[in-house]
Amino acid sequence: MEQPYVDPSLDLEAEIKRLKRERNAILLAHYYQDSEVQDLADVIGDSLQLAQAAKRTNADVIVFCGVHFMAETAKILNPGKIVVLPDLDAGCSLADGCPIDRFRAWQARHPGAVTISYINCSAEVKAASDLICTSSNAEKIVRSVPADKQILFAPDRNLGRYLIQKTGRAMVLWQGVCVVHETFSEKKLLALRERHPNAALLAHPECEPGLLATADFIGSTSALLRHAVESPKQEFIVATESGILHQMQKQAPHKTFIAAPPESSCACNECPYMRLNTLEKLYVCMRDLSPRLEMPEALRRAAELPIERMLALSN
Ligand code: 13P
Ligand code: SF4
């Protein structure tokens, strides 16, 4: 989506706050959003926390600053609300790499298996899954499946491999990857660690196995944040989308946080989809209550079931 024209004399922060009140809206933001978007949010969280916040809200409008599958999940869990997101094109390489027809064909090759899908997938894939998980509850969800059942895990192969290692449970993996967590350079990381020998390496489980093998702590974005704040360590190298550093720095201002280096000199540790949500688009989507998340009721109901199973197991 093109950047919309917005009167440059407008105070966008003030306008967004005004619209929040006027629309009785709640603004949910993922940790991977720009810091200026995070600072306007009512709730900042990881995928699970944002899904839970969307389900329990009494607001009339949910403004979702994240990617499409997250806003879709909000609509699935709270269908009576208007759900808007700043840019409908904010996709995800994991969701895009798992089209429903190939996913169904894959399932058909493994009859009788239980399918666990990472929440980073389309509503159609959710509807065809038995259970959904996020990075913060994935281990629990895998362990909930009876030992005699074969498990199919989609779409993130790195999270899948990490879970196989953690739980000792064999799983058939869909071969999807996150474009952001794939870009970290192990060579540059090694050099960085030599220059900062006291720094702890924090990594999201979407990272490559080689990187995870050298990490001091592995967890979802909220787990990484909690660990960074509570750890007695003073210095951290952070291998996940660099938006999380904003909250780390805010909650532990005296500590040092270094973003793990990507392979090239690009800003590839910023998610190109998450960062489509600019302040201008956020303002316009709240002003116009568009673009909205809509889906057929039959699809919504089918997708709701495995998400609700996940939420019940997450309590
Ligand atoms: P969490 O929000 O579960 O940490 O996952 C990170 C992510 O990549 C979201 O797209
Ligand atoms: Fe998808 Fe990766 Fe972006 Fe998360 S960081 S939304 S997994 S592309």
Question: Ligand 2 — pocket residues by CB below 6 A?
Answer: 32, 67, 92-94, 120, 178-180, 206, 241, 271, 273-274
Predicted confidence (pLDDT) at residue 246 exceeds the cutoff of 90: yes
Q: How far is the CA of 143 from the centre of ligand 1 (A)?
A: 20
pLDDT the model gives residue 43: 98
The closest residue, in CA terms, to atom 1 on ligand 2 is 92
The model scores a pTM over 0.85: yes
Mean pLDDT for the chain? 97
Predicted confidence (pLDDT) at residue 309 exceeds the cutoff of 80: yes
Task: Work out which ligand 1 atom sits closest to the CA atom of 120.
Answer: 10
Could you check whether 12-90+274-294 and 186-259 share the same CATH topology?
yes
* CATH placement of domain 94-177: 3.40.50.10800
Q: How far is the CA of 24 from the centre of ligand 1 (A)?
A: 27
Range scoring the smallest mean pLDDT among 13-17, 47-51, 265-269, 284-288: 265-269
* Mean pLDDT (whole number) for 199-216: 97
Give the start-to-end residue ranges of the domains of the chain: 12-90+274-294, 94-177, 186-259
Q: What is the pLDDT of residues 142-198, one digit of tens each?
A: 999 999 999 999 999 999 999 999 999 999 999 999 999 999 999 999 999 999 999
Pocket test residue of 177, 204, 240, 276 for ligand 1, highest count of atoms within 8 A of CB:
204
Range scoring the smallest mean pLDDT among 30-34, 136-140, 213-217, 261-265: 261-265
- Measured from the alpha carbon of residue 244, the closest ligand is 1
* Proportion of the chain above pLDDT 70, given as a percent: 100
Please give the CATH architecture assigned to the domain spanning 12-90+274-294.
3-Layer(aba) Sandwich (3.40)
CATH class, 186-259 region: alpha beta
Concatenating the DSSP letter of every residue in the chain gives -PPPP--TTS-HHHHHHHHHHHHTEEEEEETTS-HHHHTT-SEEE-HHHHHHHHHH---SEEEEES-HHHHHHHHHH-TTSEEE-S-TT---HHHHT--HHHHHHHHHTSTTPEEEEESSS-HHHHHT-SEEE-TTTHHHHHHTS-TTS-EEEESBHHHHHHHHHHH---EEE--B--TTTT-B-HHHHHHHHHH-TTPEEEE-TTS-HHHHHH-SEE--HHHHHHHHHHSS-SEEEEES-TTHHHHHHHHSTTSEEEEPPBSSSS-TTS-TTGGG--HHHHHHHHHHT-SB----HHHHHHHHHHHHHHHHHH-
- Measured from the alpha carbon of residue 273, the closest ligand is 2
Q: What is the pLDDT of residues 36-94, one digit of tens each?
A: 999 999 999 999 999 999 999 999 999 999 999 999 999 999 999 999 999 999 999 99
pLDDT the model gives residue 147: 96
